[in-house]
Amino acid sequence: MTLISSSNTKKSRQRLTHLLLHIVLIVMGLSFLIPLLWLASTSLKRGAQVFIVPVQWIPTDPQWYNYGEIFERLPFARFILNTASITILGTIGSVVSSLMVGYSLARLRWPGRNLVFIFLLATMMLPRTVLLVPTFVMFKYFGWLDTFYPLFVPSWFGTAFYIFLMRQFMMGIPLELDEAARIDGASSFRILWQLIAPLSGPAVVAVAIFSFLAHYNDFMDPLIYLTSNDKYTVALGLYWFAGRWGNLWHLVMAASMVTIAPTLILFFAAQRYFIQGIQFSGLTGR
């Protein structure tokens, strides 16, 4: 009886601990949502209603025209198209380059492989500001200023973190699969794209999400390399909009909602793959 009572007490404590933990997480999650809720609410208000106290979370007369007005004041559709082009090309480049380099570092045997990997990791320690001036000078020499090339071409030459992520995932795939494919006459290129790449789905999705967010939210590089207004990205367009009509908070919030909408959709659509890719990438190594 004593053992049964002790076991029941332990289970009750565990349930209480889990309940308290869930309550704390729910409260924290709701607190993090408050700025987003205020953003969405403000985007549907009139200018005079923005700073009414107490806060009116659900506008009685939603002003959906606010979203149409931001497209009338600035070419936001053009900004979205520019951002989509850069983001898609950069994301494809990141996935392709990280797959190829990660495969080489994880599956192939060649002299100096580990040394190259160490130097690759060392590049992650360099502050980005150290590389701004030489990178700018190089792109100026290429004649790429005020073009989209500096914003997506570097992704096609690999990013250290994405390569590391892909390499770590591929290290967990049995080498026997490669050997069996080679016996059947498959080349390294064919093994990569028809065997290893499909098996690396979670890591590929994780790299794609990271790259998408990095290119979509990038503000510094477009600010440095783009000078023509018609080539602005969404991030620069929002900055320009806030600078010109910063006193019209309802319109600024509407522009902000348009800006963050793709990232919210991406998160809810691919969160499972994102978490799975991050989880698997750090579990295996050889």
Three-state secondary structure call for residue 127:
coil
Q: What is the pTM of this model?
A: 0.83
> Which residue type is seen at 215?
H
Quote the tokens at residue 35: 């700025």
pLDDT in tens, the chain (286 residues): 555 556 667 777 788 888 888 899 888 888 888 888 888 888 888 877 777 777 777 887 888 888 888 888 888 889 999 999 999 999 999 999 999 999 999 988 888 888 999 999 898 888 888 888 999 999 999 999 999 999 999 999 989 999 998 998 888 888 888 888 888 888 888 999 888 999 888 888 888 988 998 999 999 999 999 999 889 999 998 888 888 777 788 888 888 898 888 888 888 887 776 666 556 544 444 3
Q: Residue 237 and residue 230: Cα distance in Å, rounded?
A: 10
Please name the residue ranges forming H helices in the chain: 2-42, 65-73, 76-107, 113-123, 128-142, 149-152, 160-170, 176-183, 188-191, 197-199, 201-217, 220-225, 234-245, 249-281
Rounded CA gap, 27 and 25, in Å? 5
